[in-house]
Structure 1
Amino acid sequence: MSFNFDQLITITFTLFAVIDIVGSVPLLISLKDKMGGLRATQATLVSGFLMLAFLFVGQEFLKILGLDIRSFAVGGSIVIFLLGLEMVLGHEIFKADANAQSGTVVPVAFPIIAGSGTLTTIMSLKANFEETYILAGIFINLIIVYIVLKSLVWIKKVLGENGLTAVRKFFGVILLAIAVKIFGSNLSAFGK
């Protein structure tokens, strides 16, 4: 089997855009201040566990609900599309829970890093890509998440408010395109 670098890049960038760890920097900084610190290792490990669990047992979970992966991919592509739209337009579509408990696990690991968008994306990617590449993409993103969590103050200084907004909008457009591709490739299966 030859290594498909294009698959790895697509998966890695898709997950990077959905997790939107750079776009979450302002939120993460305010949470860090409120909580008096943030455990980067714990947040990374917990979010990684959630992503891997969804990658390996997500399909069985769907079977229990009577769904197939293509149906979930179409539904997931709509969620990804809305996340992208939210990032580009700057309007909140998915409302955050105002009563979220303070802590590294909730809300940092879940839902900020491994939220419904991330877990849905992993299942949607599984319909189109090989598991090995998705696994590699998850690990690459966990490394990025860990580095960002460790470097929050430095990143804010370097990018500034305008830089963070530009990065968020750029990845929003990428998400919109990826959502349309996943939607189209899985919707055609329903006609067969």
Structure 2
Amino acid sequence: MPELFISAFITLFVVIDPPGCAPIYAGLTKDASPAQARNMALRATAIAAVILLIFAFFGEKLLGALHIQLDSFRIAGGFMLFWIAFEMVFEKRTQRRTERADKINADPEVEDVSVFPMAMPMLAGPGAIAAIMLLMNEADTAAQAAEVFAALGAVLIITAAALVAAGPLIRLLGDKVEAVITRLLGVLLAALATQYVIDGLRGSFGF
């Protein structure tokens, strides 16, 4: 299997975190019918895909317009991903997502959660945007770009499936298993984030 596809898949899977989004989505849609919950899950995934594709194609041009070097963005993105990893390992990310979900549930006027908070910022958040831009920079050929898009598509398909099956999935795994998976993914993301920072420093200072 191509190396870039594996790296992109792991990075995007860890950042988007389908196992972590599933329990939050289950809580947000507890009063919705199965059909409504399924439609919102698919819509949220589709919107997140559009957002990430926009940044994949035009993110570098946006940086150029703002006079930001890609190596600088790589370092900043690495630190951002490392912070996400830190929160995952110490369960801060899950706590923040739960608080956000409770806030949304407290507002009776909010019914469709597909755009906010699911598509943004849970699925296509700053970490995912930074990750897809950094990964696209690693793709030197059209074939490698296709690997990144294939990895993104695979992760989003898994995410959609996890959201659709959120209720049964949480009952099957339980809170403890979900917490263990999240922490393991956090450690892996920390290593990948550190590599991004090293690559950025190497590109900026030539060592």
CA–CA distance in structure 1, aligned partners of residues 138 and 167 of structure 2: 37
Q: Distance in 2 between matches of 1:126 and 1:187?
A: 18
Partner of 1:132: 146
> Cα distance 1:188–1:10, how it changes in 2: closer, same or farther (>3 A)?
same
**Counterpart for residue 159 of structure 2:** 145
Q: If each structure's helix is expressed as a fraction of its own residues, which one has the higher value?
A: 2
Q: 1:115 to 1:35 in 2, by over 3 A?
A: farther
- The 10-residue stretch of structure 1 (36-45 or 164-173) with the greater mean CA deviation from structure 2: 36-45
Paired AA for residue 9 in structure 1: I
**Aligned ranges 1:1-192 → 2 under 5 Å:** 5-33=2-30, 37-38=36-37, 39-92=40-93, 102=111, 103-129=113-139, 130-192=144-206
Equivalent residues, number: 189
Amino acid at match of 2:44: A
* Residue in 1 that maps onto 2:107: none
Contact persistence 1:81–1:176 (CA under 8 A): yes
Moved over 6 A (4+): none
Once the two structures are superposed, residues 4-36 of structure 1 have per-residue CA deviations (whole angstroms, 9 ceiling, x without a partner) of: 622111110110000011112221111112566
TM-score in terms of structure 1 length: 0.90
Q: Is the 8 A contact 1:77 1:124 kept in 2?
A: no
Which has the higher mean CA deviation after the structures are superposed, 123-132 or 47-56? 123-132
> Structure 1: any 5+ residue segments left out of the alignment?
none
SS of equivalent to 1:67? coil
Counterpart Cα distance in 1 of 2:145 and 2:95: 28
Q: Matches of 1:161 and 1:95 in 2, distance apart?
A: 16
Deviations 1:72-115 (A, max 9, x none): 11100000000000000123599669566552111111111111
Instruction: Give me the CA root mean square deviation.
Output: 2.1
Q: Judge conservation of contact 2:85–2:190 (CA < 8 Å) in 1.
A: yes
**Structure 2: gaps spanning 5 or more residues:** 105-109
Instruction: Between the two structures, name the one with larger relative contact order (CA 8 Å, sep ≥ 6).
Output: 2
- Give the Cα separation in 2 of the matches to 1:35 and 1:72: 40
Q: Deviations over 1:151-180 (max 9, x none)?
A: 111210121000110110010001000001
TM-score (norm 2): 0.83
Look up the equivalent residue of 1:83 and give its one-letter code: I
User: What does the per-residue CA deviation read over 1:30-66, in whole Å, with 9 as the maximum and x for residues that have no partner?
Assistant: 1112566431221111000001001001111111111
Query: Helix, strand or coil for the counterpart of 1:66?
Result: coil
- Identity among equivalent positions (%) equals 26
Change (3 A) 1:19 1:92: closer
Letter in 2 for 1:24: C
Equivalent-residue separation in structure 1 for 2:163 and 2:92 (angstroms): 25
Q: Which amino acid aligns with 2:6?
A: I
